Amino acid sequence: MPTLGKTAGGLFWMFRYLERSENLARLIEAGLRISLTRGGAAGEEWRSIILTAGLTAAYEESGGEYVGPQVVNFLLRDKSHGCSVLCMIEKARDNGRVVRTAITREVWEATNETYIMARTMLGRPVREADLPDILAAIRRHSALVRGALHGTMLRNDIYNFARLGTFLERADNSARILDVKYYLLLPSIAHVGSLIDHSQWDTVLRSLSALHSFRWLYPGESKPIDIARFLILDGRFPRSITFCIRKIHENLYWLEKEYGERLASQNLSQQLLEQIEHASIERIFEGGLHEFLQSFTIQNQQLAQQIETDYRFSG
Amino acid sequence: MHVMAGEKSFFDEMYDEAGAPRQPFHIYEQWFAEQEPAKLLKKAADAEDLFRKTGITFAVYGQEDAEERLIPFDIVPRIISAQEWARLSRGIEQRVRAINAFLHDIYHRQEIIRAGRLPEHMVSRNAAFLDKMIGFTPPGGVYSHIIGVDLVRTGPNEFYALEDNARTPSGVSYMLENRETMMSMFPELFSQIKVRQVSDYPKRLRRSLAASAPRKCEGDPVVAVLTPGIFNSAYFEHAFLADQMGAELVEGHDLQIVGGRVAMRTTQGYRPIDVLYRRLDDDYLDPLTFRPDSALGVPGIMDIYMSGGITIANAPGSGIADDKAIYSYIPDIVRFYMGEEPILQNVPTWRCSEPDSLAYVLDNLAELVVKEVHGSGGYGMLVGPAASKRELAAFAVKLKRQPANYIAQPTLALSTVPILTKKGLSPRHVDLRPFVLVSPDKIEITPGGLTRVALKQGSLVVNSSQGGGTKDSWVLED
């Protein structure tokens, strides 16, 4: 059965929104941790989280201050800006309804349950005491949807469109998180005498769920260059930019194979892949970490748009 | 809005006057008596969770920003014996055949009008009559592929056909999901009681639609379900049927006319569709032919239809057959086309367009049910015995202003089937909507259908939009 362009687009966005909601919850978790351990630095951290989410203008317009409960409610459940975790989950589910016939009952039910959970838990302003439970529930439900996808879906074009959404979104998220904190990772020589607190590196790792994996690979002292190398270039870590690009390339390859047609999307992803495979962290630092991340984010967006065009997501 | 039982006695389908279970309910009743009430109530709550998880919800029209709602489900089945069903299905088949013959006739020679059995204006001035369909025969000669005939029961052998939903009857997904739920909750019942299965409905629907493929179809017919989109109250059902049939689920903006065919935009370009099961009213189908402001339909689809490029199910213009003003003529329509007496009774109906009838209806408003001729879903209807004096007076004003918009019927003594309440079993009024599939070579009726139940004690209104629930409907094997 052929796949409708709308369906491919719905799958792509359904999984983008799911990924984004999960990542936002992870960011909030990292922020929460800072506010619990180092009260003084929390304001700055909340500011950078709002910046990472791309919501600075909306937040300041709403008159919000950079204090925990306000930021958390804004990011988790505010409907005015359309980018809160709750909005994201609603959009994912709306897309899920559009593509209902393309996904298995398990995937649909897991998505629907995520929505029921979010609406129940985020229906009223969130109290600080409930926050750990809520964030854990969001993470758990994301895992359920992912598990249902892996366990029950046919590995065809439909699956590949869903995965493309996941990895394009994830790559974008990882790049944004790094970009907002890039100054923390610059070679320490440039920051001699500055008051950078090394525990902030933990926050970067934590907001990408990378702390455990990083310590496994680098049991000694954390060095910023290792952190940057790990998060950008380590193809073993599922939230690194390299990992995401490889996955995107793979999903596009399967589409090319299934449809028997190579399109502009495949060429773009080939370019991205070659760039990242030939990159070294030293050269990235030389050219500027910020510049590298900015240019990657733009290329990633272009690829997403090319996929929308090539596979006729809209008429 | 509910009518209190009291002055009338109602036929209870489970228990006879002496309080003994009727034949079809024998085994079930024994089983029920052995159950712990608290456990059953727990199961009922589980069923609701299950439905919510599955997402079988519907949006209520006219309630901005309303949450999606569940149609309440009652776990006590409605059981119909094989003999009862045999007679019912003969009656339904007769009615459905007559309706398709009627539709063909009024869009061709109009013999029924020539014979003086139906006033000409009932057709020519009917908004559901489509001039565009005159002289055109749909592929396979089928007009109404899917019909849901609403039946009510008033006694052991008294069934009335209340409405013939010949446009886009809904509810079949509930019929299927109710059965799935019952089987997963009470598997032991299904091994003790032989119930005829309903689960092959989607397969039959697909076969039936494919059998009416258009002339230009090449190879295995491509079937698609056309939905107005996720904000439609019945979207769940549209997606459900497409999924179960293995058909595409499309919206107007997925479709375009390409090379003389209606085609859907796929990831690899446009692909023609052969049969479109549309869940969209005629008015919205083609902005070039009907409502120009409709963004839900497909511009130009009617021309493709006329040239044999696509089958539209149900055929545009079928709605005239379930028009509530035409309804009162159905017994005559059955006699005229089938040459037989109708097996199913019609409810006596006053056409308010006729002055004598209007006078009678106005005098007896408090005893009658008054319906809009073109209405559906229980919207805009008056249940006289349940209405306040003020509601009656307000309705009388509307009625006098546009009498032709209304028909009136006596309040029927609908049969009851018990539902499970916290205090045990308690009778509630029910109706039944069996689903009928019409293909060029045969008519198939799924055994059972959707039983709708008025959950409020004494209420006679079973519509889900008005607080009705559903039950699983069992037809027993011989």
The nearest alpha carbon in chain B to A103 belongs to B243
- Residues A142, A164 share a domain: no
My answer on whether A46 and A190 are in the same domain is no
Q: How many CA atoms lie within 13 A of B87 on its CB side?
A: 14
**Which pLDDT band, with edges at 50, 70 and 90, does A200 fall under?**
confident
Q: Chain B: give the shortest CA distance to residue A63, in Å.
A: 27
SS3 breakdown of chain A: % helix, strand, coil, rounded to 5?
A: 75, 0, 25
Where on the phi/psi map is residue B449: left (φ > 0), alpha (ψ -120 to 50), or beta?
left
DSSP at B382: E
- Using the beta-carbon criterion (under 8 Å), do A2 and B271 form an inter-chain contact? yes
**If contacts are CB pairs under 8 Å, which of residues 148-187 in chain A contact chain B?**
157, 161
Mutation test of the interface with chain B: which of A1, A6, A156, choosing the one with the most B Cβ atoms within 10 A? A6
Q: CB count, 10 Å around CB of A24? A: 23
The residue count for chain A: 315
Mean pLDDT value across residues A142-169: 97
Q: Is B380 exposed, middle or buried (0-12, 13-18, 19+ CB in 10 A)?
A: middle
Count structural domains, chain A: 2
Whether residue B314 is preceded by a cis peptide bond, meaning omega within 30 degrees of 0, is yes
> Can you give the pLDDT at residue B67?
63
Residue A25 belongs to a domain with what CATH number?
Answer: 1.20.120
- C-alpha R_g of chain B: 22
* Amino acid letter for position B313: A
* Contact between residue B241 and residue B205 where contact means Cβ atoms under 8 Å apart: yes
Q: Any chain B CB within 8 A of the CB of A5?
A: yes
pLDDT of residue A85: 97
Residues A117 and A176 in one domain: no
Strand pairing of B57-58 and B450-454?
A: unpaired
CA separation for the pair A135, A27 (Å, rounded) = 10
Residues of B in contact with A311 (CB under 8 A): 267
The pLDDT of residue B6: 45
| Chain A contact set for B249 (CB, 8 A) | 100-101
C-alpha span between B314 and B317 (Å, rounded): 8
For residue B299, list chain A residues with Cβ-Cβ distance below 8 A. none
CA B168 to chain A, closest CA, distance in angstroms equals 20
Residue A97 and residue A221 share a domain = no
Chain-centroid distance, C-alpha B57? 18
The H or E element that residue B111 is part of is helix B111-114
Identify all chain B residues contacting A5, using CB atoms and an 8 Å cutoff. Answer: 254, 265-267
Contacts of A259 in chain B (CB under 8 A): 267-268
Average pLDDT over residues A222-227: 85
Select from A112, A133, A153 the last residue of a domain.
A153
Q: Do B249 and A5 touch (CB under 8 A)?
A: no
Task: Give the pLDDT of residue B333.
Answer: 97
Instruction: Indicate whether A187 pLDDT > 80.
Output: no
Does the pLDDT of residue A194 top 50, yes or no? Answer: no
Q: Do A253 and A172 share a domain, yes or no?
A: yes
Within this chain, do residues A127 and A93 fall inside the same structural domain, yes or no?
A: yes
| Residue from B141, B149, B132, B145 nearest B104 by CA | B141
Q: What share of chain B is helix, strand, coil (3-state, %, to 5)?
A: 35, 25, 40
Residue in A closest to B50 by C-alpha: A109
**What was the pLDDT predicted at B2?**
37
Cβ distance of A97 and B253 shorter than 8 Å: no
Q: How far is the alpha carbon of A18 from chain B, nearest alpha carbon, in Å?
A: 18
Question: Which residues of chain B carry a pLDDT beneath 70?
Answer: 1-8, 58-67, 375-379
Looking at the partner chain, which of A98, A112, A161 has a beta carbon nearest the beta carbon of B230?
A98
Confirm or reject contact between A12 and chain B (CB < 8 A): no
Give pLDDT, residue B48: 87
Q: Is the dihedral of CA B357, B362, B368, B371 positive or negative?
A: positive
Strand order in the sheet with B350-351: B350-351, B406-410, B368-372, B382-383
**Which residue in B251, B255, B267 has the most chain A C-beta atoms within 10 A of its own C-beta, making it the best mutation to test that interface?**
B267
pLDDT at B58: 67
Reference A114, options A17, A188, A236; nearest CA is A17
Contact B248 A109 (CB under 8 A): no
This complex has an ipTM of: 0.86
Residue B246 is nearest to which of A1, A3, A100, comparing CB atoms?
Answer: A1
Name the residue range of residue A60's domain. 1-153
**B249 and A101 in contact by Cβ < 8 A?**
yes
Of the residues A4, A164, A307, A314, the best mutation for testing chain B's interface (the one with the most B CB atoms within 10 Å of its CB) is A4
- A146 and A259 part of one domain: no
Q: What is the pLDDT of residue A257?
A: 97
Token pair in block for residue A303: 């690829």
Decide if A6 and B254 are in contact by the 8 Å CB cutoff.
Answer: yes
Same domain, A82 and A161: no
Based on the domain organization, do A186 and A88 belong to the same domain? no
* Of B239, B198, B253, B243, the residue nearest B451 (C-alpha): B198
Predicted local distance difference test score (pLDDT) of residue B429:
96
Chain A residue closest to B243 (CA)?
A101
CA distance B169 to B377: 10
Determine the residue of chain A that is closest to B245 in CA distance.
A101
| A258: contact with B, CB 8 A cutoff | no
A116 contacts B248? CB cut-off 8 A: no
Highest mean pLDDT out of A31-35, A44-48, A201-205, B296-300 = B296-300
Domain boundary among A133, A153, A173: A153
Both A187 and A101 in a single domain?
no
Q: Compare all CA atoms of chain A with the CA of B269 and give the residue at the minimum distance.
A: A312
A8 contact B CB<8A: yes
Residues A133 and A162 in one domain: no
CB pair distance less than 8 Å for A4 and B269:
no
DSSP 3-state of B279: coil
Would the CB atoms of B266 and A97 count as touching at under 8 Å? no
CA B330 – CA B100 distance, rounded (Å)? 12
Partner B contacted by A223 (CB < 8 A): no
Partners of residue B53 in chain A, C-beta under 8 Å: 109, 112-113, 116
> Can you give the pLDDT at residue A42?
81
Q: Does the beta-carbon distance from B248 to A261 stay under 8 Å?
A: no
* End-to-end CA gap in chain B: 40
Unique residue bearing structure tokens 């349950």 = A113
Last residue of a domain, one of A129, A153, A177: A153
Which of B431-470 are b and which e, b meaning 16 or more Cβ less than 10 Å from the residue's Cβ? bbbbbbbbbeeebbbbbbbbbbbbbbebbbbbebbbbbbb
Reported for A222-231, long-range contacts at CB under 8 A and 24+ positions apart, including other chains, are: A222/A198, A224/A184, A224/A185, A224/A186, A224/A187, A224/A188, A225/A185, A225/A187, A225/A281, A225/A285, A227/A185, A227/A201, A228/A178, A228/A185, A228/A281, A228/A284, A228/A285, A228/A289, A229/A281, A231/A174, A231/A178, A231/A204, A231/A205
Verify that A162 and A246 share a domain, yes or no: yes
Neighbours of B82 (CB within 10 A): 14
Is the distance from CB of B443 to CB of B450 less than 8 angstroms?
A: no
